[in-house]
Chain A
Amino acid sequence: MFNKKWTMLLLTLCLTLIAAGCGQNGNNGETAANSGTNESGSSKVTINFMHLWPEGVSAGQNKIVNQIIKDFQTENPNISIKQEVLDNEQYKNKLKVLSASNQLPDVGVTWAAGFMQPYVEGKLFTPVDDVLSGELNGKFVSGTTEAYAIDGKTYALPLEFNIAPVYYNKALFEKNNLEVPQTYEQFKTVVKTLSENGIAPIALGNKDRWTGSLWYMYLADRLAGQETLASAISGSASFMDEGLMKAAAEVQTLVDGNAFVKGFNGLSNEEAKSEFLNGKAAMYMMGTWELPNFTTNEDIPQEFRDSVGFFKFPTVDGGKGDINSWVGGPGVGLFVSESSEVKEEAKAFVEYFIVKWGEQSVTGAGVIPATKVDTAALELPQLYIDLFNEMNQASSITLFADVQMQASAAETHLNQIQALFGKASTPEKFSQEHDAAISKGN
């Protein structure tokens, strides 16, 4: 059944593989060049596009993407777009593995600032300033493309723009005779009342860590002020600042006051969100990407969706923060690979994509784009309109800390957040670790 010939065949197979592997190891450049000539040799050009909107769950986004690709291909018959879809985590892993072999797709999705910095420093992304100053000039909400700029050059163009309000359950507030808090003192009273009445005040899934970071960021912003926080994160000032230390201490006071759902450090954001969605927790701080769940998502009872409101993180007495200062920022953006053989076509595609995405993403997928939206022309749920207005009034928007910082500092930040909330770290240690990690990166 299994004879000598077969075994010999296998042996040869293995040997060829190894020979092929060793033989070509030395001349990496040649292989890269080869794959290029195939494409540019013929008149038909293929752009490889890697993204993270699968058809199954991100149906809205996926539909828009496919529509854009279809239209683009019709307008540019010599170009075809080949998609690869991965989920968030697998996407990030693959991007990393591809980078190590310099095999990035022509166009792909990236996150801002700290996430993209190694790719930029490794010269894997190409600057897209020419695209930005072309048709797209003036189309972006101010402050969004800056998050993708390093040393004066922009390396990706944002698709999303989010801020993080505190959503609350109006019905629960009413039942407990609570008003929307205007000051932090009032907020603490709300927390106390809810907790005493047996309702979990805040849904928080801090297994994911960036969720807890949002709370810390707001406290830091309100207590120490936006500028202090920004300069501490950039490394030009210390986290040992009085206001920042107080913010860290305040986090632990909230934990002591049972402000967060039980077991929050072991819960994922999704699990925590469900506590809010099923009315067990009264408040939930999250980015505006959650808006579809509170407005259009049919899986969630109408009654609940109608009772969701939001408020701005309250100001603290004696704090330096402004109530119109937000934590948020652009989400994902599109990059063009430096080693792409079809850079010009890829840039044209990115430009086309950004424009079309901006026109359709709110209505088609509930995603707020980074390009300006004419809200008057669209029929939108009230919650969207209110938040669009807030965005326009924002005095400053501080980028999510874990996006802002370089990868290793971001990891330290996230770990320290979890430790701070879990009372395994102190405000002093929290600040020291931050300073150490940030100065190491710079």
Chain B
Amino acid sequence: MDKVMSNKKVIALYVLPALLLILAVVYIPIVLTGYYGLNEWNGIGAMTFIGLDNYQALIKDETFWGSAWHSLLLALFSGVSLILYLMVAMVLASRIKAANLFRKIYLIPMLLSSVAIAQLWLKIYHPTNGILNSLLESFGVANPPAWLAEPSLVLFALFIPILWQYAGFYILIYYAALKNIPASLEEAAKIDGANALQIAWKIKLPLAMEVIKVTVVLAVVGSLKYFDLIYVMTNGGPNGASEVMASYMYSEAFKSYDFGYGSAIGFFLLVICLIATWIIRKLTVTKDTIQYS
């Protein structure tokens, strides 16, 4: 058994194609990003090596830390919302009629490109004739806020579409994980007199734990480098109130022609993601992995 399963040739054959590909296509850019970060470079002319100057400036850059805080908030909200998605998936994976159809419909927003999602939510949040404010006004709210123009509201107004956009993604994964649990386990527990809640808590949750851990990492890393809707809907504004790390990186590198500094932000973002992942893995470590039996 062990001999077969540690056959070096097979391992190399399985791992190397993908590994070499990401080394070339992802790691070369990562290393170069780190290197550009050590230079003063507008992306066009010659580079000047300036050592850690960009990183030193970054540490003192209030705008950057503001954007990092916004990204962390998004990561926190994304992480917490996973609980909700898990519950929805559990309901769908229990004996619900047409569960498959529901599951598919729930994923539809994710099929839409960010261009469409952004337009939809711009129409929802429009200060005068948007869906939300029209509703509020019809309920008698006088002068409802301009959601995307208020620095105190804009970030949370953006979180809702972002979380909503990805709901179907996580429900899909959880659903697959829960459906993978052999029905025999659930039957056995039922015979033992367990109710639905007990089955969910004692059997389904532990068996889906590995998948859940993975989704936490995905949600946190995905949020930390999130860019799309924020860029289209507010461009980080007003007054930087919705700036996140990736949008700040983009505006420094591509708008301000400071590719060196932008790269430093990009590299720093990677480091923050690494730290976050490390913390998550430390927090969620379990001694023995559970298998279906």
Q: Which A positions have Cβ atoms within 8 angstroms of B? A: 4, 7-8, 10-11, 14-15, 17-18, 21, 92-93, 96, 99-100, 118-119, 121-124, 206-209, 261-268, 271, 275, 280, 406-408, 410-411, 415, 418-419, 422, 424-425
Instruction: Please state if A100 and B235 are interface contacts (CB–CB under 8 Å).
Output: no
Is B256 close to A, CB under 8 A?
Answer: yes
Q: How far is the CB of A103 from chain B (nearest CB, A)?
A: 12
Of B43, B126, B151, which one neighbours A422 at CB under 8 angstroms? B151
**Could you name 13 residue pairs across A and B whose Cβ atoms are closer than 8 Å?**
A10-B17, A11-B13, A118-B42, A122-B44, A123-B45, A263-B126, A263-B149, A265-B146, A266-B234, A275-B128, A410-B256, A418-B238, A418-B239
Cβ B17 vs Cβ A266 within 8 A = no
Tell which of A7, A96, A425 has the most Cβ of chain B within 10 Å. A96
Whether B256 contacts A271 by the Cβ 8 Å rule is: no
Are B149 and A267 touching (Cβ within 8 A)? yes
- B residues apposed to A, CB below 8 Å: 13-14, 16-17, 20-21, 23-24, 28, 42-46, 122, 125-128, 146-151, 154, 234-235, 237-240, 251, 254-259
Choose from A121, A263, A275, A411 the contact partner of B146 (Cβ within 8 Å): A263
* CB-based contact A411/B151 at 8 Å: no
Q: Which residue of chain B lies nearest to A124 when distances are taken between CB atoms in the complex?
A: B44
Least CB distance, B198 to chain A, in whole angstroms: 42
Q: Would you give the shortest CB distance from A323 to chain B, in whole angstroms?
A: 32
B149-A408 in contact (CB<8A): no
Chain B residue with the shortest CB-CB distance to A15: B20
* Pick from B20, B122, B147, B255: contact of A271, CB under 8 Å: B122
Interface contact B44-A266, CB-CB below 8 Å = no
Q: A-side binding surface: helix, strand, loop or mixed?
A: helix
Contact A118 B44 (CB under 8 A): yes
Q: Which of B23, B148, B254 contacts A96 (CB 8 A)?
A: B254
Contact of B127 with A263 in the complex, beta carbons under 8 Å: yes
How far apart are A262's CB and chain B's nearest CB, in angstroms?
A: 5
Given contacts A263-B149, A265-B239, 5 further A-B contacts (CB under 8 A): A21-B28, A208-B235, A266-B127, A268-B122, A415-B240
Q: Which residues of B contact A118 (CB under 8 A)?
A: 42-45, 257
Q: Which of B14, B16, B234, B238 has the most CB of A within 10 A?
A: B238
Set of chain B residues within 8 Å of A93, measured between Cβ atoms: 254
What are the residues of chain A within 8 A of B126 when measuring CB–CB?
263, 271
A262 CA to B149 CA, complexed, in Å: 9
Q: Do B45 and A422 have beta carbons less than 8 Å apart?
A: no
